[in-house]
Structure 1
Amino acid sequence: MDSVFLMLESREHPMHVGGLCLFEKTADPAGFARTMYEDMLTGADAVTSVFRRRPERAFGVFPALRWDLDDDIDLSYHVRLLSLPAPGRVRELLELISMLHGSLLDRHRPLWEVYVIEGLADGRIATYAKTHHALMDGVSAVRAWQRTLATDPDARDCVPAWRTDRRRTEKPGASGLSGLVRTVSRTVGTVPQTVSGARALSRRLPDPLPYQAPETMFNVPISGARRFAAQSWPLARLRAVTETTGATLNDVVLAMCAGALRRYLSAENALPARPLVAMVPVSLRADGAEETGGNAVGAVLCDLGTDEPDPRQRLDRTRSSMDRTKSTMAELTPLQVLGLSALNVVGLTLPSVPLLGGGPPPFNIVISNVPGAQRPRYWNGVRVEAIYPASIPLDGQAINITTVGFGDAMHFGIVGCRRAVPRLQRLIGMLDDTLTELETAVG
């Protein structure tokens, strides 16, 4: 799976996940930013193995099949200090993140970058970090960056994610032909089992099925330029809806997105008669499992009920759809979950395969909800106010919505193709309107 994310990447399709972190106002924001930056540049000899991985090209021919480890990492390349242009509003910050999120990572180096950003007019400091999806999935990335933060506001010993007091060692696999053959044989060996599991699953897939989604303005080829929007809502508001309806927080997030997408497409005179279908990533990592990077994620489909004008009915639709999927997944083996995920997402690769592109999309949009820390977090005494995720649009999937529940708020990050999704920022107001509708409908 890690290799797939590298093989799918192109200039139009950067395959990294990112996150914008906002820190509270300090008395000396420039000094805090400079100190954070300088702290991150120390300890180049203690970078953990996950953050030293770069793709190996066996004989210069076979890319993305194995990891090599960089033993001479240049932290001054991976960590940058930037300052916003005047007037330093959130608008300028989001424009900067939009630009950074649209640029490719250098495959000759470990696949991550971090930016410390000063110059916000309100005295806050921001960081933006991005890691290639081949290096770690969204859940793994959130866990890795959260480990850099302390729960104690008096702690002054925070270290960045790529450096720990207990350095884990990792040796790259055998090099040359023997290592390549072993890697390929392990990969090929799983194919018959996966195909068999997928065929068995195809007879009892829960609705909605792949390719039942309507065509929309989001399901088009995309460019490499991105636009990023972000906003937070108090978790108390979402939990009030869950307590009244019995829905989960994830159900409410999906219903908010469904209502906002309905409003957005209606404003563009582009709302299809049939409901949109979302692909919802699900983590396959066990709680408390050791973090080793890489990918452990499945993919399920959800009926968003965008053809339903009533907000309570839409919530019931999304909840029922996710309940059906959870019931099916509970009966599956890990291999069968992999087969189910493969069936749901295989269509994403078809636009790049000659003669196989075209036809209805496998789904309309990716919506992901990543669990985060509930207790306040600090970097050397300065509190984190918000963490906004930034994920991956693809050809045929011009917009992505990802959320992180962190602290006492749900933080939404929306990434869209700059050309295919006009006035992306309007979705923020529409999300708020939908949450208000839900509160009124269930109150």
Structure 2
Amino acid sequence: MERLSGLDASFLYLETPAQLMHVCGVIVLDTSTMPDGYAYPSFRDELDRRVRDVPEFTRKLRKVPMGIDHPIWVRDQHFDIDHHVHRLALPSPGGYAELVELTSHLAGLPLDRSKPLWEMWVIEGYHHEDTEKVVVFSKMHHATVDGVSGSNLVSHLCSLEPDAPPMEQEAPGSTEHEPGQAELFARGVVGFATRPLNAVRLVTPSVQLVAKTIDRARSGTAMAAPFNAPRTSFNGTITGHRAIALADMSLADIRQIKNATGTTVNDVVLAVAGGALRSYLDDRDELPQSSLLASVPVSVREESRRTGGANKVSALFAKLGTDTDDPLERLQDMAEANRNAKEHHQAISADSLQDWAEFAAPRTFGLAVRAYAGLKLPERHPVVHNLVISNVPGPPVPLYFVGARIDGLYPLGPVFHGAGLNITVMSNRGTVHVGIIACRESMPEVEDLVQRFPAELAALKAAVAGRTEPTPIKRARSARKKKDASGSRADVR
């Protein structure tokens, strides 16, 4: 038995038929590496064997009476792999278009909360580069995983060689205690009674944080502020329909740009995303004068003092430079802004979001989200942020999923009312896989956006190759700031 943290439970409370809170992944497999070849029955049976040793795959929710505390995880004593692993085949001709159409539909289906909160759809008949591959479309609820833990969870089903056993994972206990209703209620009452004391404890550091943020804003070193984003066509009330698009970029090119400019991989990814969004909106006469604002999830797993809970994340806000035409200048501005944002974020307690999330109330959250969407409030108030962009660490070595080599690993996060677009990237075997998911009504041409990522990377690489400065961007930018401070024209971008 394990109680959900407030942050984990919040993803349950925020979920509606339109705002689904599961995390998806498109895993493209080369089955030619499987020692005994591919056959669905044996593939499913091996998955069954492997997931039974991983608690996140075999636990389900149990509510606390009267909803006075967050739910708990209990082991599903009647776990059945056939409730979670399903078989499909792509319609002819079985190409990329058919794959994204099918996965878009599957992404819009909710998970069954009476069972462990995950599904895998084994999709056969995918033809890619003159070879036939198998695709696994996975779905796990955000209450169970965040970006990093989700990546780690997939790795527990994988091995480093086609015929090697999966990576070790601690097996769940067979005599796990499952509490009765009276015990659950008593535990909930204790938690409910101590919440006011915990709230008082959080007030002082929160007030201090606000004061420090104001000081940073005055000095120009604060991260970008929410509720200050321009409105676009994908910033409104969403529906339950989803659109998915996938693309690849060269990790070597990204690293080459990073090394030449003294920036980071994340800086380069955000700059490329900004360029792709700029051209996409400009071609539709929708480009705002001010920059789009992204919410960027940040893992605090190593800094957190909490031992429980699946989600150990915070977030920072970053402007994407969509108001800047030159790709190198966009990267330059973004690198400096990201350094300020990271310093600002590091000043915030790693557990602050999780601490405040403990006060999330199931009924209050659920009613609030439904009222928020029903009244179309996302169209009425200032835009909090335009989209979510995540950069999830990928496996540094080739992995084999039930013996099949992983050729593609495209992560897909949730979309929200007010921000109907999510971009997630993950590296794998020298390639950066880009997964984009959007509300279909908000962004019906998501394929047009994703195809701009490789083009923007190429434009940035060409700009870096053609620049004449002998110093990396990071140092050149600092020199320019010193010049501005001495009386020259200031950079106001």
Compute the TM-score of the two structures, normalised by the length of structure 2.
0.80
Q: Is the 8 A contact 1:277 1:301 kept in 2?
A: yes
Q: Is residue 178 from structure 1 mapped to residue 186 from structure 2 by the alignment?
A: yes
Paired position in structure 1 for 2:475: none
| Partner in structure 2 of residue 26 of structure 1 | 32
Partner of 1:237, secondary structure, is helix
Contact 1:404 1:411 in 2 (8 A): yes
Counterpart position of 2:490 = none
**2:301 aligned residue (285, 291, 295):** 285
**Residue in 2 that maps onto 1:167:** 172
Instruction: Count the aligned residue pairs.
Output: 434
Identify the residue that residue 417 of structure 2 maps to in structure 1: 395
> Which residue of the other structure, out of 443, 446, 461, is the alignment partner of 1:439?
461
Structure 2 residue 399 is matched with structure 1 residue 377: yes
Instruction: Tell me, yes or no, if structure 1 residue 4 matches structure 2 residue 30.
Output: no
Q: String of CA shifts for 1:78-112, please: whole Å, max 9, x gaps.
A: 11122111111121111111111111001111111
Structure 2's unaligned 5+ residue stretches are 1-6, 214-221, 359-364, 466-493
Q: 1:239 aligned to 2:261? A: no
Q: CA deviation at 1:337?
A: 6.4
Cα distance in structure 2, aligned partners of 1:58 and 1:290: 22
Shift of 1:202: 2.2
CA contact (8 A) 1:13 1:394 kept: yes
Residue 302 of structure 1: aligned partner: 318
Which residue is 2:372 aligned to?
A: 351
Q: Which residue in the other structure is 1:192 paired with? A: 200
* Deviation at residue 384 of structure 1 after TM alignment: 0.8
Question: What's the CA shift for 1:50?
Answer: 2.4
Please point out which of 237, 252, 263 is paired with 2:279: 263
Give per-residue Cα distances to partners, 1:171-225, cap 9 Å, x unaligned: 4567431122234356555433444433322233323111111111121101101
The answer as to whether partners of 2:55 and 2:171 remain within 8 angstroms in 1 is no
Pair 1:120-2:138 in alignment: no
Output the CA distance in 2 between the equivalents of 1:183 and 1:32.
49
Aligned to 2:432: 410
- Identical columns (%): 31
Question: Which amino acid in the other structure matches residue 334 of structure 1?
Answer: A
Distance 1:98 1:353, change over 3 A: closer
Q: Residue by residue, what CA displacement relative to the aligned partner does 1:329-362 show, whole Å, maximum 9, x if unpaired?
A: 33343345668999xxx9x969359797621111
- Report the Cα distance in structure 1 between the residues aligned to 2:225 and 2:292, rounded to whole angstroms: 12
Q: For the Cα contact (< 8 Å) 1:197–1:336, is it kept in 2?
A: no
Residue 73 of structure 1 corresponds to which residue in structure 2? 79
Partner of 2:105: 99
Contact 2:391 2:426 in 1 (8 A): yes
Task: State how far apart, in whole Å, the 2-side matches of 1:233 and 1:421 are.
Answer: 22
- Pairs within 5 Å for 1:119-158: 119-121=125-127, 122-155=131-164, 157-158=165-166
Q: What's the RMSD between the two structures over aligned residues?
A: 3.1
Matched, 1:316 2:332: yes
Higher CA-based Rg: 2
- 1:38 maps to 45
173-182 vs 8-17, which moves further: 173-182
**How far does the alpha carbon of each residue in 1:375-397 deviate from its partner, in whole angstroms, 9 at most, with x for none?**
11113543111100011111111
Inter-CA distance 420–273: structure 2 relative to 1 (3 Å threshold): same
Q: Which residue of 2 aligns with 1:222?
A: 238
Distance in 2 between the 1:197 and 1:141 partners?
Answer: 31
Check 1:355–1:311 CA distance in 2 against 1; reply closer, same or farther (3 A cut). closer
Q: How far apart are the structure 1 equivalents of 2:118 and 2:232?
A: 33
| Structure 1 unaligned spans of 5+ | none
Name the CA shift for 1:76/1:381 in 2 (closer, same or farther; >3 Å). Answer: closer
One-letter code of the match for 2:43?
A: M
Instruction: Write the distance in 1 (CA, Å) between the matches of 2:350 and 2:177.
Output: 27
Aligned partner letter, 2:429: G
CA distance in structure 2 between the partners assigned to 1:314 and 1:427 by the alignment? 18
Alignment CA distance shift 1:217-1:246 (3 Å): same
Change beyond 3 A, Cα 1:418–1:189: farther
